[in-house]
Amino acid sequence: MSRPVVAIASYLEQARWNIWDARAAVIHESYVRGVTANGGRAVVLPPDDLDADVLDRVDGLLLPGGVDIDPVLLGQPRHTETDRAQPLRDAGELLLLRGALERDMPVLGVCRGLQLLALEYGGSLHQHLPDVLGHHGHCPAEGVFGEHAAQFAAGSVMAEVYGPRTRVNSHHHQGIDDPGALRVTGRSDDGLAEAVEDPSRRFVVGVQWHPEVSCDDALFARFVAACAARAASARTVAAAAL
């Protein structure tokens, strides 16, 4: 049986390799490893804001971490600590997310991906958490990951994967203020939303930490399994139509 195909949204960044120093479509290899090590086939999608038709050819969507969401989309003035805007990436990933939700396709959002989920579900973000929490524990320094506990709601996907509590890494200065229609299923000890879900759908999960960095296969395995189940269901429907 073929592996489920997981689309991973990528970025456009200046990159160096071989003889090249050029703008490139890139993604951290750890996301690809998380998918392939758990039985999936990764397909990397560069930013594209024209349509989401490519989703008709895949079984799941992974929205990775990265630069801050443009505060224009939040209806907020730009904070001095907010990254430069990447409108194409914002538009392209929101288009993919909406297309995936319309198709009831499994979605896993990581860090920025969780924040996009909150935005799409009618929520809002804090642009700079130290202003709200009074500490830099979620991002001690650029390129340095924090580590802290997270506790999970009973009956949630997170609790099924991790139990009631675990330790997670983090590297972000933005975070959820209002989750909108999403259910918050994980929080850090300082009260910040660490995980969100849409229980009405097949699999829609966002986490504020980086399971790909810590090679956390438990969450990737659950996500890829949901993609495989959707693919199997689609094959059954197609066979019945013959």
d(CA 10, CA 44): 6
Annotated active-site residue 210? The verdict is yes
The residue annotated as part of the active site, out of 120, 194, 197, 212, is 212
Which residue shows structure tokens 């914002």?
Answer: 90
Helix or strand run (H / E) with residue 91 = helix 87-102
End-to-end CA distance of the chain: 20
The residue annotated as part of the active site, out of 138, 172, 173, 210, is 210
d(CA 171, CA 67): 11
Residue type for 71, please? P
d(CA 175, CA 180): 13
Helix or strand run (H / E) with residue 191 = none
Spacing of C-alpha 200 from chain mean position: 18
The residue annotated as part of the active site, out of 93, 111, 126, 194, is 111
Indicate the DSSP class of residue 144: B
* Closest by Cα among 214, 93, 64, 196 to 148: 214
List active site positions.
111, 210, 212
